[in-house]
Structure 1
């Protein structure tokens, strides 16, 4: 899309992804770089910070075994990522990604920290509502999960309500 203005807001392209990529969710880091989840390719991408009106080249960080959806920063450079086998076994997972010491070009290894109960069907968007408390929408089960994150990492717990 060419740069333009809508209601006074300036629009410009930040990055281009490969054709037929379903960009599902994003999280903006403190340095204004962006983490992007790609549902149909099960991927997590890094988009460098943009200066001016230039476009930047996204970098593939990781490929999950499942569909990847919601991503939320819960502490500086600590992210939780929701994944699942939405169309087959309906399993749902939560992964923790620590980028505190990460540098561009280094590999990442998200840690699966929670397999949600069988009631979970299709995790989607997520948000942090308080320190250590994550909410995740479940589009297929029509419910919202509350995830309690223990201080300093460890195994989260999930309840729905």
Structure 2
């Protein structure tokens, strides 16, 4: 598979100023790994440390977020994506996130059905399929709602899997050097966030494009893909090689990528030309401790609001052992910058 480099911009633009505010601060030992926005504006947050999903309502920040789903003991719950209205899928593996150890052959995909939540106050959860070959499951995105297919990033192996959530059929569909972790890193984390965007090529034509980040290598890249097969249909393009500790991200309508630089405690914006701009936080800031994932609101009143989840991870500078993981949900209005 051939690869193109987009004039990789090393220039970092001057930081912009946004009003970052906290929606909800969780207690210690809560690590909000990924988020999905419901059609009613509520936020589903996966707690990788507790093996559970919280429901956060930005309109009622004073209300303690309820746990709407609990997974088997020892589960590390990672990515989440919506395939049908209010029907989500998550990926998990058994492990202990505080020392980044994951048990081999334990990855599973689960269905999380919220359609009856208003009546039951609990999600209906069901295991869809075990995929033991996935080493470290991470980001997810919906490939085709028509075909009931999703993509899963395997951070440990550096590959992207396609899964049919109705039949359980699964296979690797994207495997490339830009997805691979650095073997000497601890932990070795390759491809992390993945999202499919309809990229406009003209007024009347768009191409489904997979955006991906690589944590160890600081990469943000794209590749056109088939919505039927999930496989690349063109060349891999590296937008930036300087988004350090790249985690999950969201893409706005102008093609800007809002990306979490996790251990740098920073949220950045990567412009289509590859320039990088600091938006919030920073290495010496406590405003965003461990930003992990972002998602835009879906309503008329918050479609320009970027919701951010964090792990809240602080470590002992000598032993590198975790001290806290009090994650939170925060937000910025991207029109204010």
Scaled by the length of structure 1, the TM-score of the pair is 0.83
Q: Which has the higher contact order (CA 8 A, sep 6+)?
A: 2
Quote the residue 2:153 is aligned against: 137
Query: Residue 96 of structure 1 contacts residue 110 of structure 1 at CA under 8 Å; is this kept in 2?
Result: yes
Where do 4+ consecutive residues of structure 1 move more than 4 Å? none
The answer for unaligned runs of 5 or more in structure 1 is: 1-5
Query: Residue 34 of structure 1 contacts residue 47 of structure 1 at CA under 8 Å; is this kept in 2?
Result: yes
Query: Residue 39 of structure 1 contacts residue 68 of structure 1 at CA under 8 Å; is this kept in 2?
Result: yes
SS at match of 1:110: strand
Query: Residue 31 of structure 1 contacts residue 49 of structure 1 at CA under 8 Å; is this kept in 2?
Result: no
Q: Does 1:11 align with 2:20?
A: yes
Query: Residue 114 of structure 2 contacts residue 124 of structure 2 at CA under 8 Å; is this kept in 1?
Result: no
Quote the residue 1:156 is aligned against: 168
Q: 1:99 is matched with which residue: 94, 97, 114?
A: 114
TM alignment of 1:67-82, pairs within 5 A:
67-82=76-91
Quote the residue 1:115 is aligned against: 130
Query: Residue 42 of structure 1 contacts residue 68 of structure 1 at CA under 8 Å; is this kept in 2?
Result: yes
C-alpha separation in 2, matches of 1:94 and 1:133: 12
Quote the residue 1:37 is aligned against: 46
Query: Residue 162 of structure 2 contacts residue 170 of structure 2 at CA under 8 Å; is this kept in 1?
Result: yes
Query: Residue 128 of structure 2 contacts residue 165 of structure 2 at CA under 8 Å; is this kept in 1?
Result: no
Q: Does 1:47 align with 2:31?
A: no
Quote the residue 1:58 is aligned against: 65
C-alpha separation in 2, matches of 1:109 and 1:149: 15
SS at match of 1:10: coil
SS at match of 2:30: coil
Query: Residue 50 of structure 1 contacts residue 56 of structure 1 at CA under 8 Å; is this kept in 2?
Result: no
State which structure, 1 or 2, has the greater radius of gyration over its C-alpha atoms.
2
Q: What is the CA distance between 1:133 and its match in structure 2?
A: 2.3
Query: Residue 93 of structure 2 contacts residue 107 of structure 2 at CA under 8 Å; is this kept in 1?
Result: yes
C-alpha separation in 1, matches of 2:172 and 2:121: 36
Q: Which string of whole-angstrom CA distances, capped at 9 and with x for unpartnered residues, describes residues 34-69 of structure 1?
A: 000011111111112426xx5442111222121100
Q: Does 1:126 align with 2:140?
A: yes
Query: Residue 90 of structure 1 contacts residue 122 of structure 1 at CA under 8 Å; is this kept in 2?
Result: no
The answer for unaligned runs of 5 or more in structure 2 is: 1-14, 96-101, 174-337
C-alpha separation in 1, matches of 2:126 and 2:158: 26
What is the root-mean-square deviation in Å for CA atoms of aligned residues? Answer: 2.0
C-alpha separation in 1, matches of 2:67 and 2:135: 27
